[in-house]
Amino acid sequence: MHWLIGYGVEAKVSVRGRSANAIGWLCQNGRCKGTQLFHLSGERLQARVGVGVQGHHGQFLAMLAQSKVKQEYPIVVGGRKFTLADLIAFEQGNCRLGEELTFKLIAFSHYLPLDAKWQNRQGQKWDIPRLIQEELKQPVVGAACGGTHRLMGISYAARKRQASGQPLEGQWKRAEKYIDDFQIYTLRLQNRDGSFSTDWFKGRADSGDAARKLQTTGHIAEWLTYSLPEEELHGPQMTKAIGFLASLMRKHARKKWESGPQGHAIRALRLYRERAFPEPDSLHPHEELAGPSSTKQPR
């Protein structure tokens, strides 16, 4: 999953020595170290959360959203055929107060109309503004990956609203203001070498540890690259941050990084290239590349 956040629909995995598309393999419920992501509850598709699968509710769906995979994309579980729309419906029914809603906010902002309304399986009413409101109540410091995912979720919703041309008001306006303020604060914590704080958003820090700097700088640069206005991507702070990240990965090209930090660092560089130096077609792969793998699942 963290490989596909870096490479999207182009991500590949090795299955018994053969190459398979990462998204295709997961959506066929292929086994990874003996574990499958999906299961059935009666006739309903469900996604597992826990060690070896998703670390958070809606995480896989958010990754597919960020890879721009369409709702019609097939999912196969136990011989039953579903689509990504069924996974969206499962995650909608699973919205609960008091739980982390970060990844659902990313996914629903991408896949649903911004005025969509739905009920969870307990009959509670939900919409995207309510998701924003609940996420704004939660702290950034101490959240998943230092809080970068929470910031990404709020940013994703705000940018989608801006792109729609609809007015920024209510929770949408709160989201925009929150992100603007956090961007200013984050850039103040940047270290002299271009890296971001190894203490996430608690304050400026530089532990000197390459793995820690990849983790924090990769995640924070990914969020800033996505959320900052295009013109600010060419400013000295972001060019220095991206330069630091690229140089760090080049210097340690043979190092075996942890998959999460590496995946997010790769995505930061890809996003930066896509937004700061856009090229037609070549940097916008089509979801058809993630077609179902022909590699058979191991027993």
pLDDT per residue as tens digits for the range 198-219: 999 999 999 999 999 999 999 9
Task: Please report which confidence band the pLDDT of residue 290 belongs to, taking 50, 70 and 90 as the band edges.
Answer: low
* Distance in angstroms (rounded) separating the CA atoms of residues 218 and 222: 6
Do residues 182 and 151 lie in contact, with contact meaning Cβ atoms separated by under 8 Å? Answer: yes
Q: Please state at what angle helix 102-111 crosses helix 148-164, rounded to 10 degrees.
A: 20
* Distance in angstroms (rounded) separating the CA atoms of residues 8 and 65: 10
* Distance in angstroms (rounded) separating the CA atoms of residues 211 and 170: 40
pLDDT score at 43:
86
**C-alpha angle with apex 9: 6 to 13, nearest 5 degrees?**
75
Q: Is the alpha carbon torsion for 54, 59, 61, 67 positive or negative? A: negative
Mean pLDDT of the 279-292 span: 56
Residue of higher predicted confidence among 281 and 94:
94
Contacts 24+ apart (CB under 8 A), 112-116: 112/88, 114/160, 114/161, 114/164, 114/166
The structure's pTM equals 0.91
Task: Please report which confidence band the pLDDT of residue 292 belongs to, taking 50, 70 and 90 as the band edges.
Answer: low
Which tens digit of pLDDT belongs to each residue from 76-98?
999 999 999 999 999 999 999 98
Q: Which of 54-63, 98-107, 173-182 has the highest mean pLDDT?
A: 173-182
Which residues have CB under 8 Å from 76's CB, separation 6+?
A: 27, 28, 29, 82, 292
Mean pLDDT of the 151-165 span: 95
pLDDT score at 159:
94
pLDDT score at 291:
58
Do residues 104 and 95 lie in contact, with contact meaning Cβ atoms separated by under 8 Å? Answer: yes
pLDDT at position 190 over 70: yes
Mean pLDDT of the 268-278 span: 95
pLDDT score at 299:
35
Q: What are phi and psi of 224, to 5 degrees?
A: -65, -40
Task: Please report which confidence band the pLDDT of residue 266 belongs to, taking 50, 70 and 90 as the band edges.
Answer: very high
pLDDT score at 58:
93
Domain boundaries, the chain: 1-94, 101-178, 189-284
Mean pLDDT rounded to a whole number for the chain:
91
Which residues have CB under 8 Å from 237's CB, separation 6+?
A: 187, 190, 194
pLDDT at position 270 over 70: yes
Mean pLDDT of the 165-183 span: 95
pLDDT score at 297:
47
pLDDT score at 191:
97
Which tens digit of pLDDT belongs to each residue from 46-79?
999 988 888 889 999 999 999 999 999 999 999 9
Task: Please report which confidence band the pLDDT of residue 298 belongs to, taking 50, 70 and 90 as the band edges.
Answer: very low
Single out the residue of 273, 290, 264, 284 nearest to residue 10, CA to CA. 290
Percent over 70 (pLDDT), the chain? 93
